[in-house]
């Protein structure tokens, strides 16, 4: 049943089921659930799917009286752990809206009701937010601005949100989708083998002729994705080769853009260039900073990205490509075979909602 204790509701208030896959999330699950069970303006159901955790994840989840806790059960052959967990949660959900969100997110007060209203206002069948990214350690602060700047170039929110554009994307940290749409495209069962399940689900939704709305949403949700360098390296190794159509070229281009000003500096120190060449250094640094600034991080992090983050990003892209090419992608104690989805493409076949034929 939909829990009505979190807020005063009426029969016309939207019903939302929040589904959280959780595997060893004791460090972040508590604040996430606190931010969700206090949401107002919706008839709320919160479901945590405990995916074989070996820490206090399950204990934390059951400490919230209004939260339903479900065990993920055995992992079906070929499925990723996250897809299995969210599919189980979706089958148990009762809401007309489903919110798939990660255990490391924190939701602003009232943001869920505002998200439903935003989706309805824009006639969106799927609304996805890119959360504010919290960075604490040096490599978080240096790498995240570069990653998200490149993602903004590959998946411009304006194009993703444009029904006439073939671009499709979603951020798995926050996907709000109507139950009807979710079932119509086959839900997570249709992308069961996909490591990049959020983009795969968005492609299915847009290919069906339904509408996506995608935007940066620091006003609604924030997250800290990784808490140390090992987690950061493993997480982006899992994803980067799938997010970009030509990861090898991207790594080379990034490294060349980063190295140009430092090559000039070295040549000047060696006495091979005149002082006038310092203008190239300044111009290159300004270009790098402007390129990264679209990720909407503070200036200090943008500068860290330009100086230290770009070569690390290139390394992570190459590492990701090698892991996928070698069929050895690890995440949270599980190993996957690597690329199981088609490469990133802007050529999406659309299906008519009325005829069901490819258009």
Q: Tell me, what's the pLDDT at 355?
A: 29
Query: Do 100 and 236 belong together in one domain?
Result: no
Question: Whole-model pTM above 0.75?
Answer: yes
What is the reported pLDDT for 357?
A: 30
For the chain, give the number of residues.
359
Q: Is 101 helix (H, G, I), strand (E, B) or coil?
A: strand
Same-domain check for residues 51 and 179: yes
CA angle 337, 342, 348 (to 5 degrees): 160
In the chain, the number of structural domains is 2
Residue 214 domain-assigned? yes
Domain boundary among 210, 227, 244: 227
Range of the domain at 117: 15-136+155-227
Does 79 share its domain with 205? yes
Residues of the chain with pLDDT under 50: 1-7, 343, 346, 348-359
What is the C-alpha separation between 143 and 302, in angstroms, rounded? 9
222 lies in the same domain as 270:
no
* 105 beta partners: 223
Predicted pLDDT of residue 349: 46
Whether residue 305 sits in one domain with residue 164? no
Residue pLDDT, tens place only, 177-231: 999 999 999 999 999 999 999 999 999 999 999 999 999 999 999 999 999 999 9
pLDDT digits (tens, 9 = 90+) for 94-143: 999 999 999 999 999 999 999 999 999 999 999 999 999 999 999 999 99
Mean per-residue pLDDT over the chain, rounded: 89
Same domain, 188 and 253: no
What does the alpha-carbon distance between residue 25 and residue 226 come to, in Å, rounded to a whole number?
11
pLDDT at 354: 30
Give me the pLDDT at residue 304, please.
94
Looking at residue 71, what is its pLDDT?
96
Looking at the structure, do residues 216 and 78 belong to the same domain, yes or no? Answer: yes
Provide the β-strand partners of residue 130: 216
Under 8 Å between Cβ of 93 and 17: yes
Same domain, 212 and 305: no
Tell me: do 167 and 25 sit in the same domain.
yes
Integer Rg of the chain from CA: 21
């Amino acid at each position: 049943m939909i829990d009505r204790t979190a807020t005063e509701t009426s029969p016309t208030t939207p019903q939302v089921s929040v589904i959280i896959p959780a595997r060893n999330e004791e460090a972040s699950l508590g604040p996430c659930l606190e931010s969700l069970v206090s949401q107002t303006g919706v008839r709320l159901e919160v479901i945590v799917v405990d995916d074989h955790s070996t820490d206090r994840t399950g204990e934390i989840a059951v400490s919230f009286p209004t939260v339903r806790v479900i065990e993920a059960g055995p992992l079906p052959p070929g499925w990723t752990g996250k897809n299995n967990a969210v599919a189980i949660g979706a089958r148990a959900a009762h809401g007309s809206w489903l919110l798939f969100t990660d255990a490391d997110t924190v939701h602003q007060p009232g943001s869920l009701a505002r998200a439903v209203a935003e989706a309805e206002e824009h006639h969106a069948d799927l609304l996805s937010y890119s959360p504010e990214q919290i960075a604490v350690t040096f490599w978080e602060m240096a790498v995240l601005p570069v990653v998200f700047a490149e993602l903004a170039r590959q998946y411009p929110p304006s194009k993703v949100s444009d029904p006439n554009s073939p671009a499709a994307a979603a951020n798995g940290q926050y996907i709000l989708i109507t139950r009807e749409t979710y079932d119509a495209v086959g839900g997570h069962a249709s992308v069961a083998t996909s490591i990049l399940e959020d983009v795969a689900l968005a492609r299915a939704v847009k290919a069906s002729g339904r509408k996506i709305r995608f935007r940066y949403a620091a006003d609604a949700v924030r997250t800290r994705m990784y808490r140390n360098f090992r987690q950061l390296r493993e997480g982006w190794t899992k994803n980067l080769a799938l997010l970009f159509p030509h990861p090898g070229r991207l790594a080379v281009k990034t490294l060349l853009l980063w190295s140009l000003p430092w090559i000039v500096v070295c040549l000047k120190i060696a006495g091979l260039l005149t002082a006038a060449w310092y203008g190239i250094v300044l111009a290159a640094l300004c270009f790098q900073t402007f390129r990264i600034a679209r990720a909407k991080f503070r200036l200090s992090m943008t500068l860290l990205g330009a100086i230290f983050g770009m070569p690390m990003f290139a390394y992570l892209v190459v590492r990701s490509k090698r892991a996928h090419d070698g069929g050895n992608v690890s995440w949270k104690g599980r190993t996957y075979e690597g690329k199981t989805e088609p490469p990133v493409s802007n050529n999406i076949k659309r299906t008519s909602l009325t005829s069901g034929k490819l258009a």
